Amino acid sequence: MFYSFFNMFFIFTLMLGSILAVSSSFWFSAWAGLELNLISFIPLIISEKNKFSSEAALKYFLIQALGSSMIIFSSSLLLFSFTVFSISLSLALLLKLGAAPMHFWFPQVMEGMMWPQAIILMTIQKMAPLFLLSSSNSIILYLSSAFSAIIGSVGGLNQVSLRKILSFSSINHLAWMLSAILISENILLIYFVLYCFISSSVALIFFFGQFFFINHLTNSKSPNSLKILSIMSILSLGGLPPFTGFIPKWYIIQELAQFNSFILLTILVFSALLTLYFYLRLGFSILVLSSFKIKPLLQKKNKSNYEIFIFMNFFGLFLPSSIILI
């Protein structure tokens, strides 16, 4: 996918549209950046290896077109009331982002994609709407953060598809990022960057092993190092200390406690515990139902390909010692 000239061109214009939307000073140019991002992503979704990719592309186009039309409609509401304009614009951006209660399309679209396209949908496609929400209505962001935390944690409990599990996990992480908008854009940037790295590492591991369902993790003949790395990366994505995924959540927990937002903090923490439950279910299935052998783990060729992901998800283990040294 990534080696074709046309795909590289669409990826370039996709990132250009996101940068244009984020760096824009006017809503019209931000809307133009979102449209450029949408047009560039549609050809990337369609894949000859996946018969559901066309359906996913159509669903994604219709939802994003609806969100874009809501942004245009919101501009007319500015003539009547700034509050109504802010609420309508926030709902349009939440729809394009896939946050609750506008999340209904996100798991279905994720299920129809291959892993490389799913990585783009979980990371780059969230950048522009997320940072545009920094100037939106705070009450809408507060409610959406709470709903996203609940839906993202409860929705992934009964799933067997890894793409749907990661989609509900992404909705839950959106709750933390929306709460970070209420605190500081710097914390939002830290959380978003670490989330992109960790979620991409998990999805790439599933892509290398061609894992799409839970039984693929337990029944595959992939190297045991890949299975163990999957467990560690999944726990890091769930925010289990002392892995890297816990670091941004730690910052947000501290800041919400200082701002006395204990209701939202309680919802986020309990939702994180629920997400850790189905992450641990994945890890438990791999550990108990898979037959492990020690010899493949000692082979350098099976280990060297994933060293960057090991460092990425274990960076939290080295953080306390680095702080002491500083």
The pLDDT value recorded for residue 69 is 93
Nearest to 188 by CA among 311, 22, 12, 324: 22
Q: How many CA atoms lie within 13 A of 10 on its CB side?
A: 18
For the record, the structure tokens of 300 come out as 């350098």
DSSP three-state, residue 80:
coil
The pLDDT value recorded for residue 210 is 83
In the chain, % of residues over pLDDT 70: 84
How far is residue 227 from each of residues 104, 132, 205, 287, measured CA to CA in Å?
Answer: 31, 38, 9, 9
Q: How many CA atoms lie within 13 A of 80 on its CB side?
A: 9
Q: Give the whole-angstrom CA distance, residue 136 versus residue 220.
A: 46
Quickly tell me which residue has 């994945």 as its tokens.
282
Q: How many CA atoms lie within 13 A of 58 on its CB side?
A: 5
Contacts 24+ apart (CB under 8 A), 117-120: 117/1, 117/44, 117/45, 117/47, 117/53, 118/163, 118/166, 118/203, 119/199, 119/200, 119/203, 119/204, 119/207, 120/11, 120/14, 120/41, 120/44
Number of domains the chain contains: 1
pLDDT tens digits along 85-103: 999 999 999 999 999 889 9
Ramachandran region, residue 260 (left: φ > 0; alpha: ψ -120 to 50; beta: rest)? left
Question: Residue 195 — φ and ψ, nearest 5°?
Answer: -65, -40
Q: Which domain holds residue 72?
A: 5-325
Q: What is the DSSP string of 134-176?
A: GGS-HHHHHHHHHHHHHHHHHTTTT--BHHHHHHHHHHHHHHH
pLDDT tens digits along 174-194: 999 999 999 888 999 999 999
In this prediction the pTM is 0.89
Residues 6+ apart with CB under 8 A from 276: 235, 238, 239, 240
Give the confidence band of 65 by pLDDT, cuts at 50, 70, 90.
very high
pLDDT tens digits along 32-53: 999 999 999 999 998 767 788 8
List beta partners, residue 161.
Answer: 213
Nearest to 178 by CA among 137, 135, 144: 144
